[in-house]
Structure 1
Amino acid sequence: MILSLVVVVIFYVEYVTYYINVLKWPSIKCPNSECLKILLVADPQILGEKTESFIARWDSDRYLAKNFKLAMNHVKPELVIFLGDLMDEGSIASEEEYTRLKVRFFKIFKEDENVQILYLPGDNDIGGEGNERVTQLKYERYQKTFDGREAVSIKFAEFIKVNRITESYPSLKIVNTPKANISRVLLSHLPLLPASSGFVERVLSQLRPHLIFSAHDHKSFHFDADVDVKSGRIVGHYHVFPLGGSDVALKTAAARKAQGKTSFSWMFYLGDSIVHEIMVPTCSYRMGVPYMGFGAATLSPLATEGVEIAYEDEYDSVDSINRENSKMVLYYSMMWLPSRLFQLKFYVYFVAATVFMVFFLKCPICNLRFIRG
């Protein structure tokens, strides 16, 4: 009887809870046939051998693999973007350790030949944080392992990699001149709008993005900034909105209002006068934050017949841009993941309760003495 109970509990926790969690995920809608579906994966940081045990690595790998497979089936993306920090010890691993990390990574995040995949380097992959210097060898090792394209055009969108760690981005000869019917999306591991600097100003003024996807801080946020249409420079302060799953102090009424909403989906109109940045949270339960998840984005040309208006009541639109001045619409959803730490704590309590039950069932005398006091 006890063995059967153990099997049922393990099956429920390790399989059923994940499928139940998927039922909470918002549906990924396409307003028209031209839409582009994107799955965003941030900071998986698969654990390394120097600081983590085999059991910890095995459990974390299984958690990531199960959730990634479910997310792929749910979104059915045409493009998957890994926003950096793919390996926790990528920048300090030996060649042998790096090879094993690489094998584990592609076993967890299995590639699909029908889906385009873009990879960004993070500070844990090539260095750049603390005393971990970025070196040419580290960068070349990463480039040989993962996709090295700097700019990719898919349908009506152009995706450009920006590296704030090395302060580099593709030259204007590589990327296309911005066009009226093309949406330009920057991909950066480190956030750009919250980091005011000469490098960020050059990126915004030269590349003229409509949208930015970033990661690194392991939390879910939306930033926007007013931009001068002619120069591309920020002319107004950026705004911050937590997109759920955040426990930071909220300083503005708008942010507090956004935090109080229960929706996991948002709608943004993309134009030339405002730059939007979406910070995607980590998908690993080992990053010290209580909320983990994947981001799902649907990018679509703004339909003149107003098809997308049918979805406005279902989404929380946080931007202030007028839809008549926009050319693209972004539907962004958070797919939050189950708490693995809660599951592991449940196992501890379950084992303790089971041992307690077995002890008294096997020891009637002890049971009698316990009842008598």
Structure 2
Amino acid sequence: MALVRWGLKRQNFHPLRRRRRALLLKLTVVIISVLLFCEYFIYYLVLFRCHWPEVKTLAHGGRQEPVLKAMFLADTHLLGEIRGHWLDKLRREWQMERAFQTALWLLQPEVVFILGDIFDEGKWSSDQAWADDVQRFQRMFRHDSHVQLKVVIGNHDVGFHYQMSKYRIKRFEKVFGSERLLSLKGVNFVMVNSVAMEGDGCIICSEEEAELREISRKLNCSQEVPGSSQCDREPEPRLPLSAPVLLQHYPLYRASDANCSGEDAAPPEERNVPFEEKYDVLSREASQKLLWWLRPRLVLSGHTHSACEVLHPGGAPEVSVPSFSWRNRNNPSFIMGSLTSRDYALSKCYLPFEDTVLTMYGAAAGFLMILILVHFEHLPSPFLCGWKLCRLHMRR
């Protein structure tokens, strides 16, 4: 009799163990699938919709004018050791790394410009903290040798004007370079340290303005006929005949974001808040200097974390690039530019929305809870009956 009871217990035990294994397998499959989709595949799915804009090209000497493919992003704000919580770092930096690496793989840009505020605590970080932040940045934004990565100084990288020092600027330039003028495929880019455009005559400001005046002279020389001026005595070759693209962190002066629109513009309640000169935007005087010296055909800036398009006096358009990080926006994005020496076309590429990913995780958690409750038959009778009918139908 005892043997019979023992045999019955074994028969009941095996189905129970199989059911538990089946539940564990289902939970594992759901969790892994959701993680892979939300942390990896969603970036390919979203960025696959982005395409390079078409730009008009002219033929020169039987050859088409070359087109430069450039990506512009801003305000990555890698967290530091003081204000950076480890979970915040992990979540937001993984998002930026996956977005950047996916964009490189899918879009194949030739050059990437980051318009300042690479770091969040560069303005006060120690040398060791700076080295750690740089190492993380180089891992996240790694790229092949045929892709150029250029970085513009932001206020969080070296400090606001009265925090800025030559030491911090040299520390930044040692890693990211000090060039202010770059020519690629006949397109001239001028990268300005807009933090130094205070206009108060400080040593750093004076040096920055002197360098910009020299760049202005070179740009003017490129427009003159060879043999007609002192520009021919220059040892360096002339720049391509092309109005420059101005890249900087601070936007040029505008009163507010009142005229900005779009889903990634500033929230409606913030658009009419007046901007403070030399803090939110450059001063009127500094903006006029840059427009007069450089006469850019396009201005790209960051700093506000929101999108905006402005037409400045003289016809120079400015595009403020939104932040690339979930920490600053729910809907980060970057700008894709197709540029020639005479023309350009821009388009915007959105990254996955953070609330979309969080909603997916919430839905997955709810589904897992239902699986567990169904397994232990803790759901209300009508729901459990419907679940069993659904499973029966699927088996057929």
- Normalising by structure 1, we get a TM-score of 0.72
Q: Secondary structure at the match of 2:251?
A: coil
Say whether residues 1:276 and 2:317 are aligned partners.
yes
CA distances 1:132-168 after superposition (whole Å, capped 9, x unpaired): 7212222221111212111112232221122231113
State how 1:317-356 maps to structure 2 within 5 Å: 328-356=342-370
For the pair 1:190 / 2:250, whether they are aligned, the reply is yes
Stretch moving more, 340-349 or 92-101: 340-349
- On the 8 A contact 1:65/1:108 being kept in 2, the answer is yes
Q: 1:76 to 1:183 in 2, by over 3 A?
A: farther
Between the aligned residues of both structures, percent identity stands at 23
**Residues 371 and 11 of structure 1: is their aligned pair in 2 closer, same or farther, counting only changes over 3 Å?**
closer
Quick check: 1:75–1:296 contact (8 Å CA) kept in 2?
Answer: no
Q: What is the distance in 1 between the residues matched to 2:184 and 2:127?
A: 34
**Can you list the C-alpha shifts for 1:100-144, whole angstroms capped at 9, x where unaligned?**
110000101113321232211111111118xx7212222221111
- CA 182–367 in structure 1, closer or farther in 2 if over 3 Å, else same: closer
Q: Which of the two has greater helix per residue?
A: 2
RMSD of aligned Cα (Å):
2.4
1:69-84 paired onto structure 2 within 5 Å: 69-84=101-116
More strand by share: 1
Query: Which of these residues, 159, 168, 174, is aligned with residue 144 of structure 1?
Result: 174
Q: Which runs of 5+ in 2 are unaligned?
A: 1-25, 58-63, 198-207, 224-240, 255-281, 385-396
C-alpha distance in 2, partners of 1:20/1:219? 24
1:94–1:352: structure 2 CA closer, same or farther, 3 Å change rule? Answer: farther
Q: Distance between the aligned counterparts of 2:246 and 2:96, measured in 1?
A: 25
Shift of the 347–209 alpha-carbon distance from structure 1 to 2, 3 Å rule, reads: same
> Is the CA contact 1:219–1:282 (under 8 Å) kept in the aligned structure 2?
yes
> Is the partner of 1:177 in helix, strand or coil?
helix
Q: Which residue of 219, 225, 228 corresponds with 1:177?
A: 219
Q: Which runs of 5+ in 1 are unaligned?
A: 228-273, 302-327
Distance 2:150 2:36 in 1: 34
Residue 266 of structure 2 aligns with which residue?
Answer: none
Distance 1:371 1:296 in 2: 50
Larger RCO of the pair (alpha carbons < 8 Å, separation 6+): 2
The question of 1:203 aligning with 2:290 is answered yes
Structure 1 position 293 matched with structure 2 position 333:
yes
**Aligned residue number for residue 14 of structure 1:** 39
Partner SS, residue 222 of structure 1: strand
**Closer, same or farther: CA 103–112 of 1 in aligned 2, 3 Å:** same
What SS does the aligned partner of 1:15 have?
Answer: helix
Query: Could you tell me how far apart the structure 2 residues matched to 1:200 and 1:27 are?
Result: 30
How many aligned residue pairs are there? 295
Matching residue's letter, 2:194: R
Q: Which amino acid aligns with 1:137?
A: Y
